[in-house]
Chain A
Amino acid sequence: DIVMTQSPLSLAVTPGEPASISCRSSQSLLHSNGYTYFDWYLQRPGQSPQLLIYLGSNRASGVPDRFSGSGSGTDFTLRISRVEAEDVGLYYCMQALLTPHTFGQGTKLEIK
Chain B
Amino acid sequence: EVQLVESGGGLVQPGGSLRLSCAASGFMFNNYWIHWVRQAPGNGLVWVARIKSDGTVINYADSVKGRFTISRDNAKNTVYLQMNSLRAEDTAVYYCARRAVAVVPGGMDVWGQGTTVTVSS
Residues in chain A within 8 A of chain B (CB atoms): 35, 37, 39, 41, 43, 48-51, 53-55, 60-61, 90, 92, 94, 96, 99-106
Q: Which residue of B lies closest to A92 (CB)?
A: B45
Contact among A60, A96, A102, A106 for B109, CB-based, below 8 A: A60
Chain B positions within 8 Å of A90 at CB level: 44
Chain B positions within 8 Å of A92 at CB level: 44-45
Please report the C-alpha to C-alpha distance between residue A45 and residue B59 in the assembled complex, in whole angstroms: 29
Is B46 in contact with chain A by the CB < 8 A criterion? yes
Q: Is the CB of B107 within 8 A of A60?
A: yes
Q: Please give the distance in Å from B92's CB to the nearest CB on chain A.
A: 13
Q: Is the CB of B112 within 8 A of A101?
A: no
Main secondary structure of the interface of B (DSSP, over half): strand
Interface residues on chain B, number (Cβ under 8 Å): 24
Chain A positions within 8 Å of B112 at CB level: 48
Is B62 in contact with chain A by the CB < 8 A criterion? yes
Q: Is the CB of A41 within 8 A of B106?
A: no
Q: Please give the distance in Å from A93's CB to the nearest CB on chain B.
A: 10
Q: Please give the distance in Å from A88's CB to the nearest CB on chain B.
A: 17
Q: Please give the distance in Å from B34's CB to the nearest CB on chain A.
A: 13
Please report the C-alpha to C-alpha distance between residue A95 and residue B45 in the assembled complex, in whole angstroms: 12
